[in-house]
Homo-oligomer: A and B are copies of this chain.
Amino acid sequence: MEGPILDKRSPAVLLDHGSGGRASRRLVEELLLPHLKNDLLDRMDDAAVLQAGGARLAFTTDSYVVDPIFFPGGDIGMLAVHGTINDLAMAGARPVALSAGLILEEGLPLADLERIVASMAKAAANAGVPIATGDTKVVARGAADKIFINTAGIGLVPDGVDVSGHHGRAGDCVILSGPIAEHGVAILSTRAGLSFASSCRSDSAPLAGLVADMLAACPSIHSLRDPTRGGLAATLNELASQSHVRIDIDETAIPVSEAAASACEILGIDPLHLANEGVLVALVPEPGAVAVVDTMRAHPYGRQARIIGRVLEGEPIVVMKTVIGGKRIVSVPSGQPLPRIC
């Protein structure tokens, strides 16, 4: 067998490879990309943008394996629809259509399947994006865990819009659309049966409308990304790395609900490392930033939008001014596998 082995002591897939953190990135960069290498994939944005028949298309895919499949604030079906709509939106695209690929475990109650499909249908209808094509497979009991859903999506990128994780520039403002860690805490507290976090619900929401409003206010937005797996920490590090910039943020500016904060404290988890499913980060040229924030605050999914930091020249790191006034480097999650969060 030729080619790179990520870790010779453990030449097998580990849970950490799916965490969205450092191990995930190494798996993709050292094992997958060397084979699949092409200009589109190499950009590693949430969606690829390509020309087809005179149209500028965004194209993206995500598989959803969240456990449990029903959780406070949502379910795997809603998540699969919102997640892929959001990946299209993060390319600045207007979503056109979704696909849905279901992998079902023998024995899944049909009532559960129907509840999930109804939830997908409702989420798609509310977002105004049809599920245009689908596929259903069944595997024997024990060969999958209840249900996995893949959604792919296509969208149209409007003329003049050119959003990418590579476009951050020194001087940009870092804008966050709302409170973080709600989805991650909802999933983890359900799994752990933690009652103290009972008020945390997944923030799963479709962000394409919010993004359309933001682009109307400032068509030159540089970067958009939704901090899902790996949380805000992983997303900001990705943006810093792709744009070759330093990102400085202010902890006091980052909204975290009391319930989420106390859950994170008890679980010993950094809220910056937890997944969000209805939040976005934008890097916006300073002259447009205030207009973008004002626009976002007028939208239901951006009411708590604010500037949380700045893009600077320098090494691609993320530095946070802490509540107590110190500074710390925000690292990519590592060695903390939080599998099946989405």
Contacts and interface: CB of A to CB of B under 8 A. Distances in A.
A32 B103 CA distance: 13
A300 interface: no
Copies of this chain, how many?
A: 2
Interface in A1-40: 1, 3, 5-6, 11-19, 24, 27-28, 31-32, 35-38, 40
Interface string A102-114: 1111111111011
A144 B15 CA distance: 12
Interface in A112-153: 113-115, 117-118, 120-121, 124, 130-140, 142-145, 148, 150, 152
Query: Chain A at the B interface: mostly helix, strand, loop or mixed?
Result: mixed
20 contacts: A3-B114, A12-B107, A13-B107, A15-B138, A17-B136, A27-B136, A35-B118, A38-B132, A40-B97, A41-B130, A41-B133, A50-B97, A55-B57, A57-B57, A57-B154, A59-B97, A63-B101, A65-B103, A101-B152, A138-B339
Contacts of A18: 104, 136-139
B134 A15 contact: no
A54 interface: yes
Contacts of A120: 35-36
A61 B100 contact: yes
A55 B117 CA distance: 29
Nearest to A124: B36
A89 B16 CA distance: 38
A47 interface: yes
Given A50-B132, A59-B99, 7 more contacts: A13-B108, A50-B97, A52-B55, A55-B57, A61-B100, A65-B144, A101-B150
